[in-house]
Structure 1
Amino acid sequence: MDYKDMLKDIKNNELKRVYLLYGNEMYLKDYIISDIKKKYIDKAFESLNMIYIDGKETSTDSIINACETLPFMSDKKIVIVEDLPLFTSKKETSNLDEEELCRYLEKLNASSCLIFISNEAKIDNRKKVVKIIKQSGEIVQLLKLKDMDLIKWTQSIFSRNDKKISSTDIQYFLHQAGYYDASNNRTLYDLENEINKICSYLGERETVEKEDVKKGVIKSLQNNVFALVDALGQKKADEALSIFNDMILENEPIQLIFHMIIRQLRMLMLTKLYEEKGYSQGDISQKINVPTFVVKKLVSQTRNYSSSNLYMILEKALDVDRAIKTGKMEWKLAVEMFIAEISN
């Protein structure tokens, strides 16, 4: 189940008795809770009908007691338990009696909705408590938004600030902001902050232009790496080395920069091979697990390289990595020599 299905449950007044929300995109968690409050909770009785429990400090009895107390002047009582150390394979001490909680979940009070929230990227599906929640309610994975969902959300935040932006410039903004960078944990909250900065910069002006995005958003590591690999393909050694040294001045670890360069080259190689086999950009997106707008950028960048050229570069990168790890070369010098050699 994804977050949109849970929003439908709320809208249709069909809340299940128990939910488990987990994943990296906590913006969606807050959005869901906000929707529940609007639908079910009268502000005058919020303290009675919406109970927050710290899962790291609670006991099974506390959770059960909160659920068993009937709602006051309302059809539903919402009990939210966050960070309960039961849903992952990590071994953490707690005051919980897991067996007792499992027995209770099977006969949960119909007037209550119990929502567990785990801020972890994964849960342990082998756990008995997870299996029971699947049977009695729903498990909702809060993944990063993709493609049209992400574009629509971005458009809505700009609109909320009374600003207009084209779909093309939205994609440019998302690329610049680095929402899908493997090297960071950027969330929708981070994107919202970037949008607010751009809107403040615009002042009274309504339309957001590409240049506004360029000035308002600090380039992410992934974007710098993309520009560096682009310069490599165009044989612009000076530009590639300049980008590399700028990243070092921004305190990016050289090891991470080199790892990201190799990752970008691997994605280019895969994109090139799939494209030569006749795969559509949508298919390639699913194959290499990146958004469609990123694939469009990759397809554009592959025109600077042949398949054999990319294979040779990756082989060279492997040699450089081996030389560094065996102590034959120092990190900065090795990467600079790699960039210079590939550019020439």
Structure 2
Amino acid sequence: MDYKDMLKDIKNNNLKRVYLLYGNEMYLKDYILFDIKKKYIDKAFESLNLIYIDGKETSTDLIINACETLPFLADKKIVIVEDLPLFTTKKETSNIDEEELCNYLRRLNISTCLIFIINEEKIDNRKKVVKTIKQNGEIVQLLKLRDMELIKWTQSIFFKNDKKVSKLDIQFFLNQVGYYDASSNRTLYDLENEINKICSYLGDRTTVEKKDIEKGVIKSLQNNVFALVDALGQKKTDIALSIFNDMILENEPIQLIFHMIIRQIRMLVLTKLYEEKGYSQGDIAQKINVPAFVVKKLVSQTRNFSSSRLDLVLEKALEVDRAIKTGKLEWKLGVEMFIAELGE
């Protein structure tokens, strides 16, 4: 189940008795909770009908007692338990009796909606409590928004600020902020902050242009790596070295920069391979597990490389990586030699 299905449950007044929310996009969690409060909670009785519990400090009895109290002048009581260690593989001490909690979830009062929230990318699906929630309620994964859904959301935030922006410029904005970068932990909250900065910079102007985005947003690591590899493809060694040194000045770890360079080259090798086999950009996106707009950029970048040159670049990168890790080369020197050699 995704967040949109839970929003439908709220809208249709069809809340299940128990939910487990987890994932890396907590903006969606807050969006869901906002809708629940708006639909079910009267502000005058909020302290009685909406209960927050810190999962790291609670016990089975406290959770059960909170759920057993009937709602006051309302149809539903909402109990939210956040960051209960029981759901992850992490070994943390807990006062939760899993067997007792599972037994209670099977007979949870229909007037109560119990919502567990885990601010983690993964849960332990082997746990009995997870299986019990699947049988008696719903598990909602809060994933990053993708493709058109992300574009529509971004457009709506600009619109909320009374600004207009084209879809092409939205894609440019998303590339710049690095929402989908492999090393990125950016959320929709971060994107919203970046949008607010751009809108403040615009002042009374109502149309957002590419130059406004360039001035208002700091380039992500992935974006800089893409530009560096692009320069390598065009054999512009001076530009590639300049980008590399700028990243170091921005305090990006050299090890991470080189790791991202190798990752970018691997994605180019795969993109070139699938493209030559006749795969569509949509199919390639699924194969290498990146958004469609990223594949579009990758396909464009592969034009600078033949298949044999890409293989050579990847082989050289791995060779330098081994030399650095075995102490034969120092990190900065090794990466600079790699850039210089491939730019010749």
Name the counterpart of 1:342: 342
User: 2:303 corresponds to which letter in structure 1?
Assistant: R
Aligned counterparts of 1:328 and 1:51: Cα–Cα separation in 2: 59
CA distance in 2, matches of 1:328, 1:98: 52
Residue-by-residue CA offset, 1:168-190 (whole Å, 9 max, x unaligned): 00000000000011112000000
Q: Offset of 1:237 from its aligned partner?
A: 0.3
Q: Aligned residue for 2:102?
A: 102
CA deviation after TM superposition for structure 1 residue 78, in Å: 0.3
Tell me the SS of whatever aligns to 2:318: helix
Aligned equivalents of 2:81, 2:72: Cα separation in 1:
20
Alignment match, 1:190: 190
Q: Please say if 1:256 is aligned against 2:256.
A: yes
Which runs of structure 2 are paired with 1:278-293 in the superposition (5 Å)?
278-293=278-293
Deviation digits for residues 71-129 of structure 1 (CA, Å, limit 9, x no counterpart): 01110000000000110111111111111111000000000000000001100000000
Please state how far the C-alpha of 1:232 moved relative to its aligned partner. Answer: 0.3
Q: CA RMSD in A?
A: 0.5
Letter in structure 2 aligned against 1:272: K
The question of 1:28 aligning with 2:32 is answered no
The corresponding residue for 2:221 is 221
Give the percent of matched residue pairs that are identical in Structure 1 and Structure 2.
85
In 1: Cα distance, 2:326 partner to 2:86 partner? 42
Alignment partners' CA distance in 2, 1:60 and 1:110: 19
Distance in structure 2 (CA, Å) of the matches to 1:341 and 1:299: 24
Q: Quick check: 318-327 or 123-132, which moved more?
A: 318-327
User: What SS does structure 2 have at the residue aligned with 1:86?
Assistant: helix
How far apart are 1:282 and its partner, in Å?
Answer: 0.6
Aligned to 1:67: 67
> How many pairs align?
344
Q: CA deviation at 1:327?
A: 1.1
- Separation in 2 of the partners of 1:282 and 1:94? 45
Deviation at 1:15, TM superposition (A): 0.4
In structure 2, give the amino acid aligned to 1:219: K
Distance 1:218 1:327 in 2: 34
Q: CA deviation at 1:343?
A: 1.0
Cα shift at 1:322: 1.2
Counterpart amino acid of 1:336? E
Distance 2:307 2:223 in 1: 23
Aligned to 1:322: 322
Query: Structure 2, unaligned stretches of length 5 or more?
Result: none
Other-structure match for 2:243: 243
Structure 2-normalised TM-score?
Answer: 0.99
Corresponding residue SS for 2:80: strand
* TM-score normalised over the length of structure 1: 0.99
Secondary structure of 2:86's counterpart equals coil
Per the alignment, residue 52 of structure 2 pairs with 52
1:115 maps to 115
Post-superposition CA distance 1:296-327 (Å, at most 9, x none): 00010000001111001111111101111111
Distance 1:14 1:276 in 2: 49
Listed one character per residue, the Cα deviations across residues 127-159 of structure 1 (whole Å, up to 9, x for unaligned) are 000000000000000000000110010011000
How far did residue 195 of structure 1 move? 0.2
Rounded to whole Å, the distance in 2 between the matches of 1:94 and 1:324 is 43
Whole-angstrom distance in 1 between the partners of 2:80 and 2:273: 48
The residue identity in structure 2 corresponding to 1:258 is: F
Q: What is the 5 A alignment of 1:115-134? A: 115-134=115-134
